[in-house]
Copies of this chain bind each other. A is one copy, B any other.
Amino acid sequence: MGLFIRELGEFGLIERLSAIVARTDPRVLVNIGDDAAVVRYDRPVVMTTDALVDGVHFRDDLIDPTSVGYKSLVASLSDIAAMGGKPLHAMVALAVPFTEQVERIEAIYRGLDEACAEFGVTIVGGDVVSTSGPLVITVSVTGELVGERPLLRSGAQVGDVIFVTGDVGGSAAYLHSKNQSDGLHIGESDEWILQKRHQRPVPQLMAGHICAQNPGCTSANDVSDGLSSELHEIALASGVRMMIDADRIPTLPALRHYARVVSVDPLQFALYGGEDYQIVGTMNRVKAGSFLSLMQAHGIRISLIGQVKSGEPNVYLNTRSGIEEVPKKGYDHFPVGVEPV
């Protein structure tokens, strides 16, 4: 039996958690422990906040607590990357059930700290409060722009090519496989590969950096709610039509293999899955060659998946059997018309 938080008290818990994420950083003038943190930035400040709820964003049977912490930070780092920013500092607010065990919260913090160490971020503050409901983790991240300008969703130009980093759909395929009742549809090594996509996503910081410094990159968005949803956001913000090629959307062999076994179109995972934390964006065609070379020189896999066209903002998929509209669907926390369970 573990230690309950009420055996430590609020201040005892904060002391333990602060020790886990303690980090020195010359930019931090005031670290954890006062009313607020003070940090030094030299360039425009990029900031984002994300809330994650136990049972909604993560489930004990699908992800371990350390990975929950890791992924909670990555979700925000991905937003900063897609703005062309370098994440530097984070604050973590926890609403914790009264009956929660200290070990689980500490494991989440170890995951947060792992991601901090890996991606150069310092946690400079936070808050711990009690709740009668499930655990809620809210991560706020601040950083600096790396280039002269932020990467917006609104700059896509007719004639640009559409690119996406890495591969998409892996996290969704993993969730799908875990919801199959017989559990026999996926081989062990494929499961491990897809599980890693779900549990330990990688924020595309270097890709965002390269995009921000290349004037030919006209828009960017991180893939958190699914490729379709993100492309629709760029289409709407830029007032353009996005035409993507089904054959060019990058998916893992493990995903395609799993999709074949369960007779699901792999594009269902790739387009509507979400939590891929890749960057999708648009690039001036003339400058695309050097952009691709630079990405590849940095070991970043990048795929050109389509073109920006004129017309009413929308997204279309070019398949072997013709062109079809891609519905704007992805994760919706309050899907219209669905009764709560």
A9:B47 contact, CB within 8 angstroms: no
Point out the residue from B30, B44, B125, B128 that lies within 8 Å of A39, measured CB to CB.
B44
**A41, A85, A132, A338, most chain B CB atoms within 10 A:** A132
- List residues of chain B with CB within 8 A of the CB of A39: 44-45, 47
Q: In whole angstroms, how far apart are the Cα atoms of A129 and B137 in the complex? A: 11
**Interface residue? A313 (CB, 8 A):** no
Chain B residues with CB under 8 Å of A30's CB are: 83, 150, 152
A265 within 8 A of B: no
Distance A57 CA – B49 CA, assembled complex (angstroms):
21
List A91-140 residues whose CB lies under 8 Å from chain B: 91-96, 98-99, 124-134, 136, 138, 140
Q: Which stretch (A157-165, A166-174, A243-251, A328-336) binds chain B? A: A328-336
One digit per residue, 1 when the CB lies within 8 angstroms of any chain B CB and 0 when it does not, for chain A 29-67 equals 110011111111100111111111101110000000000
9-residue interface stretch from A10-18, A252-260, A293-301? A10-18
Q: Which of A47, A124, A340 has the most CB of B within 10 A?
A: A47
Contacts of A46 in B (CB 8 A): 36-38
Q: Which residues of B contact A80 (CB under 8 A)?
A: 35-36
Contact partners of A44 in chain B: CB under 8 A? 29, 38-41
Which residues of chain A from 308 to 341 have a CB within 8 Å of any chain B CB? 332-340
Minimal beta-carbon separation of A322 from chain B (angstroms)? 29
Beta-carbon contact of B55 and A132 below 8 Å: yes
A82 within 8 A of B: yes
Check A73 for interface membership: any CB of B closer than 8 A. Answer: no
At the interface, yes or no: A200 with Cβ under 8 Å from chain B? no
Whether B130 pairs with A91 at a CB distance below 8 angstroms is: no
Residue of chain B at shortest CB distance from A99: B340
Interface bracket on A = 35 or more
Q: How far is the CB of A11 from chain B (nearest CB, A)?
A: 7
* A70 shortest CB reach to chain B, Å: 19
Tell me which residues across on chain B come within 8 A of A130, comparing CB atoms.
53, 56, 333-334
Contact residues in B for A50 (Cβ distance below 8 Å): 93, 127
Are A334 and B10 CB-contacts (below 8 A) given A140-B140, A153-B34? yes
Cross-interface CB contact of A49 among B52, B91, B99, B145, cutoff 8 Å: B91
Q: With an 8 A cutoff between CB atoms, is A8 at the interface?
A: yes
A6 at the A/B interface (Cβ < 8 Å)?
A: yes
Further pairs besides A95-B95, A130-B334: 9, Cβ < 8 Å = A9-B334, A35-B153, A38-B83, A49-B126, A52-B129, A98-B340, A131-B134, A131-B136, A136-B136
Binding site for B on A (CB under 8 A): 5-13, 29-30, 33-41, 44-53, 55-57, 78-80, 82-83, 85, 89, 91-96, 98-99, 124-134, 136, 138, 140, 142, 145, 150, 152-154, 220-222, 237, 332-340
What are 29 A-B residue pairs whose CB atoms fall within 8 Å in the complex?
A: A6-B334, A6-B335, A7-B337, A10-B332, A12-B336, A34-B150, A34-B152, A34-B237, A35-B220, A36-B79, A38-B47, A38-B83, A38-B85, A38-B145, A41-B44, A50-B127, A51-B129, A53-B95, A53-B130, A53-B132, A56-B130, A57-B129, A95-B136, A96-B334, A127-B138, A128-B333, A130-B333, A132-B133, A138-B140
